[in-house]
A and B are shown apart, each in its own frame.
Chain A
Amino acid sequence: MQEQTTQARKFIGIEELRPLPEKPRLPRRPPVIVFDPARCTGCSTCEMVCSQRNVDKVAPVSSSVKVVHSEEQGKNFAILCLHCREPLCMEACPVRAIDKDEAGIVRIRRVFCVECGICTLACPEAAPLQEPFTGRMRKCDLCDGDPLCAKHCPEDALHFYRGKALGWIRLLRWPVQLVSFLLLVVVLVGTFCSFTAGIVSLPCPTGTLQNIASTQTLVLVTLASALVLIGITILFGRVFCGWVCPFGFFLDLVGSVVPKFGLPKFLKSRMIKYGILAGAVGGAAGLGFQPFCTVCPIGSICRSYGPGGVIKGAELAIVPVIAGLELGVRRSWCRSFCPVGAVLALAAKIGIIKIVIGAHQCKKFSCMQCADTCPMGIIDREALREGIAPKIPMDECIMCLRCVDTCPYQSAKIRFRWQKTIPGEVKAWTYS
């Protein structure tokens, strides 16, 4: 008996009847209802209009959006389907009755659904509901692209977005990077390491550290001018890495072309760069010259263009090697190796600016576009999946503002460090 059933399953399982569709392409502007808890008054208008559409009577039990209240803390929260990018309900459904159409709306196909309720159990918010009048599973279908709840919300706490990204920061960043690349490489030859314009001199902080270590003398003017870059970093984050660094620009160009294969684990640690920095400074003290500066890819690329318009080959030898690292992950040099970045990371750690994602806007990020686009890979996908605003380590952030640029719901923002943006540190999946 047992063997017979397994054999029969082999021939006509659900895999053969309704195979899982290919991973659908994410629509460029995924529709979603974004909920702002700061505005919600808990009036339940959304429940009423939703149930009116669902079962043609005003009965909040059968609505697809659910408002939960906390009387002690005076909080209201709307639970609704977010039409995730990779819906868990779709994966868990035993009869493959749930699918995601081209517009990005996750629907239950009525003909196939057997009302087992597994989608509710698989959803982190338990958004699909068993509707008590007919016993059928109900879930939000965004009213086919014109959600009533968002239309009727008196406080505009539910807002229907058809994801629209800012898109103009990119148009600003690439020219700035190009201009600074040309400026540092072609116009001011050999000048990132000690950039001199008249009386102002802006040396590289890592070079300065090595210089101090090797010569054992502290030149106050050099130190003070090196502190200018540190000061900029404290004020604005690592804007140098994201917007100015000529080698970073080069890596961005390379990284947008080459395919990615992932890095081995021992190269992934972000602490390597601090090790290289310590080694460079220590080595400078021992050797009497700046050991890292001779191989520094930023310096090499700056010094490569000679006054006569000739590209000097010898110094550029290190560049293709490091550009090869780009085959692993984007900006892999900046992530784990660059000691210049390490100095700036230490400064950015005490900086006054932070990037927040999901400040009162997007409770659970189904699109993951910020995590996809981040060149440093610092946006925590697990936190996004669980619906927690991810902590962004500002020492690793290069302030390229790609996340701010691409977020379709404009919930990635720049804030001061002291501004409160998330409702307290609540651990995941425990009661307060």
Chain B
Amino acid sequence: MSRRDDIRSVMVASRAFACVECGRCVAVCPMAEMYPNFSIEMSPRGVIKKVLMDADILSDEHLWYCTECNAGTDVCPAGVSDRDLIRGLRHLAIVSGKVQEVRTCQGCGEQYVPVHVMEFISERLKEEPTEFLNMCPACRRKVYLMRNA
């Protein structure tokens, strides 16, 4: 199966072909609060548009800003699952080895969060000690177990 078919199956599974471009997902997108350079390219609408235009979506760094929240899915009138769409496309980008803007956990090596999301969090928490941000949630719990039990 070629890469295009993979992308196509992700679009089908997340009902992205049903997108009516109403822009509700952009209106509720929390990325608008998080990134000063928020643009349509980051939004699910922009991503769907790019796939339909046959652009090289997998090597696009705008894929890696999304927080995988549920806000767009909640309001979508066509029932597009934005979260599944972005997750599927990111998975394809990782397996095809194109762009990997993902932070890797120091403990277990899991890819647990996109770089941009983590940059946002560490900027919000810049007055706090933030060593724990280098670990995935499961490893943080394990560290607590090791340290305090």
Contacts and interface: CB of A to CB of B under 8 A. Distances in A.
Interface string B130-144: 011111011011111
Contact of B147 (A88, A91, A116, A423): A423
A331 interface: no
Nearest to B118: A121
B56 interface: no
Given A1-B39, A2-B37, A382 B145 contact: no
A79 to B, nearest CB: 5
B28 A114 contact: yes
B30 A77 contact: no
A165 B135 CA distance: 35
Contact of B125 (A76, A92, A117, A136): A92
A113 to B, nearest CB: 9
Interface string A345-357: 0000000000000
B137 A115 contact: no
B147 A1 contact: no
B137 A126 contact: yes
Contact of B128 (A115, A118, A385): A385
Interface string A69-96: 1100101110100000000100110110
A387 B28 CA distance: 36
A37 interface: yes
A126 B117 CA distance: 16
A398 B124 CA distance: 37
A196 B36 CA distance: 74
B45 to A, nearest CB: 14
Nearest to B38: A5
A68 B140 CA distance: 11
Contacts, number: 129
Contacts of B120: 94, 118
Interface residues of A, number: 50
Given A70-B146, A387-B144, A429 B132 contact: yes
A386 interface: yes
B111 interface: no
A91 B143 contact: no
A91 B124 contact: yes
Interface in A11-61: 13-14, 37, 40
Given A77-B148, A429-B134, A92 B121 contact: yes
A388 B68 contact: no
B125 A114 contact: no
Contacts of A37: 148-149
Interface string A373-403: 0000000001001111000000000000000
Interface residues of B, number: 45
A176 to B, nearest CB: 36
A9 B121 CA distance: 20
A432 interface: yes
A426 interface: yes
A63 B10 CA distance: 31
B129 interface: yes
A115 B70 contact: yes
A244 B70 CA distance: 62
Contacts of B129: 382, 385-386
B32 interface: yes
Contacts of A429: 106, 131-132, 134-135, 143
B40 interface: yes
Interface string B72-94: 00100000000000000000000
Contacts of B144: 68, 77, 79, 125, 363, 387
A121 B121 contact: yes
A418 interface: no
Contact of A121 (B74, B117, B147): B117
B145 A75 contact: yes
B69 interface: yes
B124 A92 contact: yes
A382 B36 CA distance: 31
- Residue among B40, B70, B74, B107 facing the most chain A CB atoms (10 A cut-off): B70
A335 interface: no
Contact of B113 (A95, A115, A121, A386): A121
Contacts of B128: 88, 385
A428 interface: yes
B141 A126 contact: yes
Contacts of B5: none
Nearest to A124: B132
A208 B98 CA distance: 76
Contacts of B37: 2
A431 B146 contact: yes
Nearest to A119: B121
Interface in A101-128: 114-118, 120-126
Contacts of A122: 121, 124-125, 133
Contact of A9 (B32, B113, B125): B32
A366 to B, nearest CB: 13
Given A94-B67, A115-B70, 10 more contacts: A68-B142, A76-B149, A88-B125, A88-B128, A116-B67, A118-B117, A122-B133, A428-B147, A429-B131, A429-B134
5 contacts: A75-B145, A114-B74, A117-B67, A124-B140, A431-B142
